[in-house]
């Protein structure tokens, strides 16, 4: 854990207590969700590759199956996005990775 609290464009991550507050309210995060959101929020506007996320969050260089990553992104979107089907914050960059978008 690098920062205890990160705040970007209406999303606040309390990494010390594994909580996120967004447009839809405050939610508890699993440790993996917390680490994943933390790394994306520490690099706002920058695409973070799947390989980097797998290495940072799951401490693995295995990227042949990133379904676990995709499921965690989906769960995070449900917790921080007003419309998870049309995400404002957590966007996919096809074939590369994910980006936390700030305005």
**Domains, the chain:** 5-100 (1.10.10.10)
- Tokens linked to 31: 């440790």
Convert the pLDDT of each residue in 33-64 to its tens digit: 999 999 999 999 999 999 999 999 999 988 88
- Tokens linked to 47: 């695409």
- Tokens linked to 28: 């508890």
- Whether residue 15 contacts residue 3, with contact meaning beta carbons closer than 8 Å, is answered with yes
What is the model's pTM?
Answer: 0.92
Alpha-carbon gap, residue 7 to 56, rounded angstroms: 20
Beta bridge partners, 90, equal 100
């Amino acid at each position: 854990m690098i920062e205890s609290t990160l705040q970007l464009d209406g999303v606040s991550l309390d990494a010390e207590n594994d909580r996120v507050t967004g447009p839809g309210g405050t939610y508890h995060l699993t440790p993996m969700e917390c680490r994943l959101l933390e790394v994306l929020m520490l690099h706002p506007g920058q695409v973070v590759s799947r390989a980097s996320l797998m290495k940072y969050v799951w401490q693995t260089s295995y990227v042949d199956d990133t379904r676990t990553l995709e499921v965690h992104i989906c769960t995070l979107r449900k917790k921080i996005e007003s419309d998870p089907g049309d995400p404002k914050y957590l966007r996919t960059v096809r074939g590369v990775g994910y980006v936390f978008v700030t305005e």
